[in-house]
Amino acid sequence: MGGFNAKVEVEAWAVQFQTQVSLFLIVIGKVNHHVKPVEEEYDEPPRCKAGQDIVLQSPVDWVLLDGRESSDDHGIVQYEWTLLQGDPSVEMKVPQPGTLKLSRIQEGGYVFQLTVTDTAGQRSSDNVSVTVLPMVHSAVACVGVCSRYQFICDDGCCIDITFACDGVRQCPDGSDETFCQNCKCPGPQRGL
């Protein structure tokens, strides 16, 4: 993939001929090539990280997917999210590059693909799954990894973080409200 720079030295003699029609300039010369390889910096392809799979419990107002841990040695110029599997009525918005906010998300399974493109046009993709469980379910089913925008119930389920300490039990085990009673947090429902 290396290129070459050629330095050209020309020893030239110019001869002019004037005719009735035009002026000719003839260059007669000798060309010396000094060729040396140009060292090009290797550009690594990007590394796409769409984030860890998420398991949520209904009701879910929204969830944020975060692919900003993707990296490249020269920089990422584009993040592109695609719904591969799941209800197509889910609303997808990009609040900032690398993230995807999902709303109107229904019970069921979803698979999203993140594709990142670097400054050289190289691409890399990674998938993340989102599973939304019904309100009533077996606690054994909640073994997913929650995002930083979610509250982790004691049974392993994830709920929207705004549902914690709101006075309504959304975790099957009620830990989203029990947590508040044990916490000396500011706010109307937080440990008063």
User: Residue 11's pLDDT band (boundaries 50, 70, 90)?
Assistant: very low
pLDDT digits (tens, 9 = 90+) for 170-181: 787 888 888 787
Which helix (H) or strand (E) segment holds residue 13: the answer is: strand 3-18
pLDDT digits (tens, 9 = 90+) for 140-161: 456 566 777 788 888 778 777 8
Q: What is the 3-state secondary structure (H, E, C) of 141-185?
A: HCCCCCCCCEEECCCCCEEEHHHCCCCCCCCCCCHHHHHHHHCCC
pLDDT digits (tens, 9 = 90+) for 21-33: 444 444 455 544 5
Structure tokens at 92: 């997808």
**Residue 152 near residue 172 (C-beta atoms within 8 A):** no
More confident residue, 68 or 133: 68
Is 18's pLDDT higher than 90? no
Structure tokens at 14: 């110019």
**Residue 135 near residue 126 (C-beta atoms within 8 A):** no
pLDDT digits (tens, 9 = 90+) for 35-92: 556 567 889 999 999 999 998 878 788 899 999 999 999 999 999 999 999 999 999 9
Long-range pairs for 7-11: beta carbons < 8 A, 24 or more residues apart: 7/33, 7/34, 7/35, 7/36, 8/32, 8/33, 9/34
Domains contained in the chain, CATH given: 3-38 (no CATH), 54-162 (2.60.40.10)
**Residue 153 near residue 172 (C-beta atoms within 8 A):** yes
More confident residue, 79 or 132: 79
User: Residue 14's pLDDT band (boundaries 50, 70, 90)?
Assistant: very low
For residue 105, count CB atoms less than 10 angstroms from its CB and return exposed for 0-12, middle for 13-18, buried for 19 or more. Answer: buried
